[in-house]
């Protein structure tokens, strides 16, 4: 091989290495530039109309949320599916709910693995093949309001995004649910344990979550009512996602009935909705 191709290959490799190494720095610069821009008045009107929880936030958290929304919309691709139109109403309403999970973080990763938000005009149907053993496969059809993929996509039903935002007190919010899954998947798999800063925090989280999950499963098996939806008893990943919905939308009952669970979620999300 002649020297010139070798030089070009080395230059390309160095350029790629620099691009990867400098990505956090470039992201910080881009976000700082966005934060310096005025938040569009039309977006503020959408927030007040579509996301009543925004109006409850203290002023400093409102400012944080607006900056996070700007960065989220700049960094994530919104794609309409099955005829769903994408406009600022869709982008701002979804981004506002998702970014509640990123407040009070010095350097929010803004769901680093999520690149695209796919939005449907209604609940959508997915088909999956599930192995039954002995070489048998069952085709399963499920109707979903939302889904989080570890491959960088969130799928959402727009009417359910609107409904979740419109009632911030019912404990049901599909956007919070699916983006909680994204946080969970940062560890590589959804197991109900998002990244935590230390072994001690992880041990405490596991002890509390496992105990609460086991108790919920007992109640579900007996048909007893519970603050958390019975769907949370299906697996630890769903327990974390459902608990996140309730934490942001029904903090009073959660703190009263499950104080240790509330404390773990407050420490993880770095906010205290009881004060909103």
In a domain, 5, yes or no: no
Q: Is residue 234 part of a domain?
A: yes
At CA 78, angle to CA 52 and CA 73, rounded to 5? 60
Domain contains 276: yes
Measure the CA–CA gap between 60 and 76, rounded to whole angstroms: 24
Q: Which pLDDT does position 116 carry in this prediction?
A: 95
The Cα–Cα gap between 169 and 175 comes to 15
CATH no. for residue 265?
A: 3.40.390.10
Torsion angles phi and psi, residue 229, rounded to 5: -55, 145
Number of domains in the chain: 1
Q: Which domain holds residue 259?
A: 191-276
Calpha distance 5→11 (Å, rounded): 10
Residue 264 in any domain: the answer is yes
| Predicted pLDDT of residue 225 | 93
In a domain, 127, yes or no: no
Evaluate whether residue 248 is within a structural domain.
yes
Q: pLDDT tens digits, the chain, 276 residues: what are they?
A: 556 666 555 555 554 544 444 444 444 555 555 556 789 999 999 999 999 999 999 999 999 999 999 999 999 999 999 999 999 999 999 999 999 999 999 766 789 889 999 999 997 665 544 444 554 433 444 556 678 776 788 999 999 999 999 999 999 999 999 999 999 999 888 899 999 999 999 999 999 999 999 999 999 999 999 999 999 999 999 999 999 999 999 999 999 999 999 999 999 999 999 999
Domain-embedded: residue 209: yes
**pLDDT attached to residue 128:** 47
């Amino acid at each position: 091989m002649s020297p010139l191709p070798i030089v070009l290959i080395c230059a390309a490799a160095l350029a790629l290495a620099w691009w990867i190494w400098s990505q956090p720095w470039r992201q910080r610069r881009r976000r700082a530039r966005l934060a310096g821009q005025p938040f569009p008045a039309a977006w503020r009107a959408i927030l007040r109309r579509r996301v009543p929880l925004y109006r409850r936030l203290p002023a400093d958290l409102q400012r944080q949320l607006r900056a996070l929304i700007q960065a989220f919309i700049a960094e994530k691709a919104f794609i309409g599916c099955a005829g769903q139109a994408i406009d600022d109403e869709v982008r701002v309403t979804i981004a506002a709910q998702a970014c509640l999970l990123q407040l009070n973080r010095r350097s929010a990763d803004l769901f680093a693995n999520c690149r695209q938000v796919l939005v449907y005009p209604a609940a959508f149907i997915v088909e999956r093949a599930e192995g039954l053993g002995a070489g048998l496969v069952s085709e399963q059809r499920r109707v979903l309001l939302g889904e989080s993929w570890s491959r960088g996509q969130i799928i959402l039903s727009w009417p359910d995004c609107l409904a979740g935002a419109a009632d911030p007190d019912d404990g049901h919010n599909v956007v919070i649910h699916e983006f909680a899954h994204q946080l969970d998947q940062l560890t590589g798999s959804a197991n109900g344990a998002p990244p935590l800063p230390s072994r001690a925090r992880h041990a405490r989280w596991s002890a509390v979550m496992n105990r609460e999950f086991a108790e919920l499963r007992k109640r579900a098996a007996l048909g007893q009512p519970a603050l958390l939806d019975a769907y949370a008893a299906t697996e630890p990943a769903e327990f974390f996602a459902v608990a996140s919905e309730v934490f942001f939308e029904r903090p009073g009952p959660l703190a009263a009935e499950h104080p240790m669970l509330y404390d773990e979620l407050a420490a993880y999300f770095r906010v205290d909705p009881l004060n909103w």
